[in-house]
Amino acid sequence: MSGRFVLALALGATVLAPLVAPTYHVLLMLPFMAYAVALLGLNLLFGYTGLVSFGHALFLGVGAYTGAFLTSVFNVRSMETILAAAAALGALVAAPVGALCVRYVKIYFGMLTLAFGMVFYTFVLKFYRLTGGDEGMPFLRPALVGRSLEDLPKTDYLVGPYYYYSLAVLVLATLVMWRIVRSPFGLCLKTIRDNPTKAETLGIGVARYRWCAFVISAVYAAVGGALLGPPTGNVDPTLAYWTQSGNIVFMTLLGGFASFFGPVLGAFVFIYLQDWVMSVVPFWRLIFGAILAAIVIVAPGGLAGFWVRRPPVEASSP
């Protein structure tokens, strides 16, 4: 089966899901689509630039809290405004954080991003009067494309307009990222991933490109974070906790960071597998720990690695 056919099939199934699938499973698609947006960004950093961030929940949190503030404090209900503000704030926070983090690589980069993530988590947890502390903040129902949709029951709103809105954002985010990784900029990121020393001698400013990738990935994570708010209607600090950062790295590994759509697949499998395992056994983290260990040992290419095999010599093309 060609990649395009599988992609068309997946997109078709996603479009039809609210019409045919049980409501519960359709609702699970909402966090999947939000995480998928965030993971497209995370993988620009991980799979294409070679930097593993353990603190990207920070930007999920920035996006989600931006939406919560705008809707519940400033009564701004436009989802487009919320997404734009989340993207802008994500970039604003990522600019100085990235400038510090990209000076380091490997475990030092990972630990530094983790540290910044924990600083943000502590901020939202402790500044109770501003953020609601551990109780979080309400994320009021946003208007979509100028329509308030307040009269719809919550479930109808989520499995109807909000579902297709999230899908549209995911498709748009995918198209933009597809273009970025196939641009001259994307090629420079791949050289840095493969061999930063050599990239530098070709005149490619490694730190500058890493910083750009970091900021773009933060923008994606913030948009994903903003999309996570409406389904629960509340944003709390657990979204910014380090285990969330671990989860999204897990999703990337599960799907396969070497493939463009691998992390999206990882998000899908993670969300549904987690839901199923949690319904069967109380200690779901034990099962997921075993799965992660198995992936690293047996299938480092993730689930996408089983399907996409890189031939040693690619077919000649004009």
Nearer CB in complex with other proteins: 78/191 = 191
Nearer CB in complex with other proteins: 41/229 = 41
Q: What are phi and psi of 146, to 5 degrees?
A: 80, 0
Nearer CB in complex with other proteins: 292/308 = 308
Rounded-to-integer distance, Cα 78 and Cα 70, Å: 9
Rounded-to-integer distance, Cα 74 and Cα 313, Å: 57
Nearer CB in complex with other proteins: 79/218 = 218
Nearer CB in complex with other proteins: 297/313 = 313
Reference 39, options 62, 56, 63, 19; nearest CA is: 56
Query: CB–CB of 104/88 below 8 Å?
Result: no
Beta bridge partners of 126: none
Q: How many residues does the chain have?
A: 318
Query: CB–CB of 177/45 below 8 Å?
Result: no
Query: CB–CB of 276/269 below 8 Å?
Result: no
Helix 3-20 with 23-46: angle, nearest 10 deg = 150
Q: State the binding string over 232-261 for other proteins (x if CB under 8 A, else -).
A: ------------------------------
Q: How far is the CB of 51 from other proteins (least distance, A)?
A: 16
DSSP E strand stretches across 210-254: 234-235
Beta bridge partners of 234: 138
Nearer CB in complex with other proteins: 51/118 = 51
Q: How far is the CB of 208 from other proteins (least distance, A)?
A: 9
Nearer CB in complex with other proteins: 154/182 = 182
Q: How far is the CB of 220 from other proteins (least distance, A)?
A: 13
Measured distance between the N- and C-terminal CA atoms of the chain, rounded to whole angstroms: 23
Q: Which amino acid is at 312?
A: P
Q: Is 103 in the site for other proteins (CB under 8 A)?
A: no
Q: How far is the CB of 2 from other proteins (least distance, A)?
A: 19
Instruction: Show contacts with other proteins in window 271-310 (CB under 8 A).
Output: 310
Nearer CB in complex with other proteins: 1/313 = 313
Rounded-to-integer distance, Cα 11 and Cα 14, Å: 5
Instruction: Show contacts with other proteins in window 143-202 (CB under 8 A).
Output: 176, 179-180, 182-188, 190-191, 193-195, 197-202
Applying CB under 8 A, the site for other proteins has a residue count of: 33
- Unique residue bearing structure tokens 């070497």: 258
Q: How far is the CB of 256 from other proteins (least distance, A)?
A: 14
Q: How far is the CB of 199 from other proteins (least distance, A)?
A: 7
Q: How far is the CB of 88 from other proteins (least distance, A)?
A: 17
Tokens read off for 160? 């109807």
DSSP E strand stretches across 56-210: 137-138
Q: State the binding string over 194-213 for other proteins (x if CB under 8 A, else -).
A: xx-xxxxxxxxxx--x----
Q: How far is the CB of 11 from other proteins (least distance, A)?
A: 22
Q: Which amino acid is at 242?
A: W
User: Applying CB under 8 A, which residues contact other proteins?
Assistant: 176, 179-180, 182-188, 190-191, 193-195, 197-206, 209, 310, 312-317
